[in-house]
Chains A and B, each alone.
Chain A
């Protein structure tokens, strides 16, 4: 089981089944990325492997971010799949962390190959548990249609299930129509919804991971 409740205090997140994929949805600038990075960093502190698939942050920034959060991080503990299409074709090593380049956020096969290599790297270093973050589905949706993204999410969830990993995927709820969000949601086991609270601050709720959806709660 994976305990995410130390990052986000919900009972429904205390025992997340290996193989679960969770969508993190909320408006821009609400802290979705920070949350998924925190989830990965928290796991890494306990020895879990981490894979970050990024469509927006530079791989080097992702590595820096993790080094800062997890000073004891071992290079072989993190793999980054950089889909911005700005790097070369060959994998590179940034500060001991292997980075796999993908030509574009719309290159699903390429992203799959990058993830496969990152998982292989973690497996070879003996990590049996791990967490994958994909930031963000919103970028992918601008490169390819929602049907393809939906199918991609389903297939990736299935791969993570076989590996016993968990996945956290971010989506900008303000960037897509309600129907798109509804559809994409269905490719996941659970949902963490974040929004601005009345009177300032933020609140969240968790759906799909426990029998009942939780109420909105200040975070």
Chain B
């Protein structure tokens, strides 16, 4: 996701009216793709997709099957399940990052997509944070404490790390609930590391 391109949301939904409504709501802020069924959804799915809104009950490939294919392909995208009934099972354990129960309001949809994008942003910030910490550790391992005290590079790094640490917790609200926690962890083990 580069800074100039809007994030990509893929809607997989078999009811055209419903899909169009979601698209209307989202298209101002995101690039929206639409698949009418699971097979079409999987065809439209590539590295550039950030968030998938996946209808659970569709003719043909079910939402669950599409999800396992997404996880199988090891794509870094976040998946929200859209369902007519409140799920009676553990959506996190199923591999979904969030769920929305119909009927969905515009605000709710926006909140969910924003939150899922923040999970990805959190992970890339963590990635940057790690790179700094690793650099610092390398300096610490190779230089004496006297040398470190005199090194501007080390001082700058230390400050940058402290700033970033606060930023990780504050700007993105840290990890507020279980969904955030699991979605972020899933990102870590989903091969987002280069």
User: Could you list which residues of chain A lie within 8 angstroms of chain B, going by C-beta atoms?
Assistant: 107-109, 111-113, 116, 119-120, 144-145, 147-148, 150-152, 154-156, 158-159, 161-162, 178-179, 182-183, 186
Contacts and interface: CB of A to CB of B under 8 A. Distances in A.
A155 B175 contact: yes
6 contacts: A151-B130, A154-B168, A156-B181, A158-B174, A182-B136, A182-B141
Contact of A107 (B130, B161, B184, B189): B189
A132 to B, nearest CB: 13
B75 to A, nearest CB: 15
B185 A152 contact: yes
B177 interface: yes
Interface in B3-43: none
A155 B184 contact: yes
A158 to B, nearest CB: 4
Given A179-B137, A179-B138, A183-B133, A109 B185 contact: yes
Interface residues of B, number: 31
From B90, B127, B133, B136, residue with most partner A Cβ within 10 Å: B133
Nearest to A149: B188
Given A182-B140, A183-B133, A186-B136, A151 B188 contact: yes
Given A144-B189, A154-B168, 7 more contacts: A108-B188, A113-B93, A116-B178, A116-B182, A148-B189, A151-B188, A155-B188
Contact of A159 (B127, B133, B181): B181
B176 A150 contact: no
Contacts of B169: 158, 161
Given A116-B92, A186-B161, A155 B137 contact: no
Interface of B: 90, 92-93, 123, 126-127, 129-130, 133-134, 136-138, 140-141, 161, 168-169, 174-178, 181-182, 184-186, 188-189, 193
A175 to B, nearest CB: 17
B193 to A, nearest CB: 6
Contact of A116 (B138, B141, B181, B184): B181
Q: Which 10 A-B pairs have the closest CB atoms?
A: A182-B137, A158-B175, A112-B185, A186-B133, A158-B174, A159-B181, A159-B175, A116-B178, A183-B137, A108-B189
B174 A161 contact: yes
B126 A151 contact: yes
Contacts of B123: 151
A200 to B, nearest CB: 29
A113 B182 contact: yes
From B93, B140, B182, residue with most partner A Cβ within 10 Å: B182
